Every structure is written in C-alpha cells, then in structure tokens.
Structure 1
Amino acid sequence: MGQATAIAGHGAEIELFSDTLSCDVVLPARFDPGPAMAAQHAAESLLHGLAIAEDVRSDDNEERGELPQSMQRVEAKLDLILGVLGKLTRARADALPVRHARWSHRGLRLDLPATSGFSTGDSGVLLLQPADWLSDHIELPARVLAEMPGQDGHHHLWLRFGTLLPGLHDALERHLFRLHRRQIAEARRLR
C-alpha cells in the first residue's frame, strides 16, 4: 500500500476531510499542548479583517483593472511593506514553523519533520498564520486525533478542532472557501 493510500484510508483523515471542503496549504503553524485557552474572539476578528482585505485586494484582474493607477501603486507598495514585515516576523526565534498541512473546518493534518511526542487525546491550542502576507496568527482549540510516520522521516499529526464559537466557525469556513477558490483559479492558470 502506497503512502498516499495509507493516509487517505486513515481514520483521522476520513474524520477530518471526508465529504467536506479541504485545502492543501503550506503555512506557519504549531500545536501547543496544554489548557485550550485559545483566543477565539481575536481569531474571529482577524479572519473577518482578512476577508475584507482580501475582498478589496481581489486577485481578479478585471476588478484590479478598474482601480485607478495611483490606487494600484499604493496597493503594490502596501504588498511590499507587508511582505517585508512578514519576513521580519518569521525571522524571530518564536516565529511559527512553516508546515505542509491539509485543512478543513473540522481540523488540520500537519506534516512534521519528526515525531511530535504528543499522545492521542492531548488537548491544546493550534496556532496558525492564515495568510502568507499577514504576520499575525489565529489560535484554535484542538486535540490530537492520531499521528503516523510518513515518508522520508516525516510524520503526519491530525488535530481536531474543539468547540468553536459560531462566528469563528463561520469565518473559518469562509476563509477555507476563499483558499479553495484561489487554488482552483491557480490550477486553471497553470493549464
């Protein structure tokens, strides 16, 4: 059985990603075990602000073409500044490590370079940066579903989200939908 088949048939993979929208992403993320004191209101606010910013900064070229050139220049400069700030933030010692992940509204699978040492059922907080141009992160309550060795010494860690506030749950679903839509658009451009 191949690695992809083993992952696809794993119970935690089915629980988190079966019959639901999911995205394969590379993003800064870390799971901290311990009391699940996630800042859900702050996460909801950040995701709402991100949605507004991304709607304004639409990747749709037709919409960008309607903006005056001066506004396009301001937007380009802002992109550069945010990129630099993001790099500076990631360079800090306490910055979140960049990981491959699969993400749905139910939870996340993190691909780690080594075993995590966590046990099934461990609770804690998942910290993740929802956008590469934004140096801030969100915190979500989570618990360990499973861990499995992967190829090349990597390990797969499945985390199920705890109970989310309704507003955060909705904001998270909208964010994942935008990520998914962007991935589909990018795949079409590459064809």
Structure 2
Amino acid sequence: MTTVLAAIERANEQLFGDALACEEVHPAVFLPGPVEATRLRAHLLQAEALLRALAVVEDSPRNEESDPHIDAAFRRLEAKVDLLTALVAGFAAGQSTDPLRRLRWSARGVRMSHDAAFAPGTPGLFRVQAAEWLPSPLVLPATVLAAEAGVEPGSQSLWLRFEGLGPVLEAALERHLFRVHRRAVAESRRAG
C-alpha cells in the first residue's frame, strides 16, 4: 500500500507539481494499447490543429463593438460559421460514447477515474472532448503512471502522463488550460 501511495505522490508531483492544472468534467476515456508511429504522428498533428482552432475561436472577440474595424461582411461570415459549428456540434453530440468523467489535468498529464483497471506503464491514448461545443475529440498519447482502486468495483483512479507532445503542442495545451482556468476564475467571481 505504501508503494501505491508513493507512486501516487510521484505522479501528482510530475503531472501537477508546478504546472497550471484545471478540474473539469468532460466526456473522456483512456484507450490502452500500443500506438503505431504513423497513427501517433497523425494524432499529434490533429491535436495541435484542434487546439490551434480552439484558440482562434475562444480568443476572438464575442462583441461586435470590441473591434470597430471589422466590416459587416466579416461579421456575417463569422455568424454563419458559428451557426454551422453549433449545428454540427448538435448533430455530433448524440454520437459521443465516452462517459462524463471528472478530470484534473495539466499540459503534462491527467488524473481521471476509469471503469477498468490498468497497470502502471500501460501505454495508450487519452481521448477527451476538450470543449462542450466542439464534437471533435482531443486525442493524446499517454502512459499510466499510477493507479488506485476506485469506489466502484473494478474502477480505478488513473494518473496518465502525456507522451511525445513536443514543445508546440504542449504550449498549445497550456494555453487551452489557461483559458479554461481564466473562465473558471471569472465565473466564480460573478457567482460570489
């Protein structure tokens, strides 16, 4: 038991020690198994593109008054894209099969509950719907650092370390989590 606790402490330090971490609830799953190099490269490129697109959408001004130089044609186009995105997200929302899970994550990794048991060292993919309005999942390679028996029989709390993200993807993930953190702080200030 003490070795499990020591592994959990090490995992917490590695994943969250001096990194910005957020707690959220999203559809997410860990898919165990080795990932071939070509597929891994494709997942990393898709993750980078997804996070870049999220940054463009979430960082763009929502209020038309915020930038008076934007012409009316651009605003109409932006509104049409927003509508199309909402429609596609609505259609795809019914297709999400991953269960909602409480996550604590940073750009280094994630702690999550899971309904299956995995041994430390198990490689695989972490899949999460990173934004409620966006049906495309973020898929990142990960390895189980530590595991602890959960409350439900056969469930575990998993600590997953992201693998091979590279500096650009890691920075994009850090920026995404910073925006999530900033929104959470703003919402708590409005509520309090």
Q: TM-score, normalised by structure 1?
A: 0.78
Cα deviation for residue 129 of structure 1 reads 1.5
Distance in 1 (alpha carbons) for counterparts of 2:87 and 2:168 = 31
Q: Which of 103, 106, 110 is the matching residue for 2:105?
A: 103
Distance in 1 (alpha carbons) for counterparts of 2:64 and 2:26 = 26
Contact 1:79–1:133 (8 Å) recurs in 2:
no
- Aligned residue in 1 for 2:92: 89
Contact 2:109–2:160 (8 Å) recurs in 1:
yes
AA paired with 2:183? R
- Aligned residue in 2 for 1:186: 187
Distance in 2 (alpha carbons) for counterparts of 1:81 and 1:97 = 25
AA paired with 1:91? G
Question: Structure 2: any 5+ residue segments left out of the alignment?
Answer: none
- The structure-2 alpha-carbon separation of the partners of 1:155 and 1:54, relative to structure 1 and needing over 3 Å to count, comes to same
Q: Give the stretch that moved more between structures: 42-51 or 83-92.
A: 83-92
Distance in 1 (alpha carbons) for counterparts of 2:56 and 2:87 = 21
AA paired with 1:86? A
Give the secondary structure class of the aligned counterpart of 2:24.
strand
- The structure-2 alpha-carbon separation of the partners of 1:178 and 1:166, relative to structure 1 and needing over 3 Å to count, comes to same
Q: How many residues align?
A: 175
AA paired with 1:188? R
- The structure-2 alpha-carbon separation of the partners of 1:88 and 1:97, relative to structure 1 and needing over 3 Å to count, comes to farther
Q: Deviations over 1:80-103 (max 9, x none)?
A: 6544533432322x6332211001
- Aligned residue in 1 for 2:146: 146
AA paired with 2:164? T
% identity of equivalent residues: 40
- Aligned residue in 1 for 2:177: 176
- Aligned residue in 2 for 1:155: 156
Alignment root-mean-square deviation, CA: 2.8
Contact 1:90–1:96 (8 Å) recurs in 2:
no
AA paired with 2:104? R
Question: Structure 1: any 5+ residue segments left out of the alignment?
Answer: 1-5
Contact 2:147–2:156 (8 Å) recurs in 1:
yes
Distance in 2 (alpha carbons) for counterparts of 1:41 and 1:104 = 19
Distance in 1 (alpha carbons) for counterparts of 2:134 and 2:49 = 14
AA paired with 1:54? E
Contact 1:89–1:95 (8 Å) recurs in 2:
no
Distance in 1 (alpha carbons) for counterparts of 2:9 and 2:31 = 23
Q: Give the stretch that moved more between structures: 79-88 or 36-45.
A: 79-88
Distance in 2 (alpha carbons) for counterparts of 1:126 and 1:20 = 19
- The structure-2 alpha-carbon separation of the partners of 1:128 and 1:57, relative to structure 1 and needing over 3 Å to count, comes to farther
- The structure-2 alpha-carbon separation of the partners of 1:96 and 1:90, relative to structure 1 and needing over 3 Å to count, comes to farther
Distance in 2 (alpha carbons) for counterparts of 1:89 and 1:117 = 29
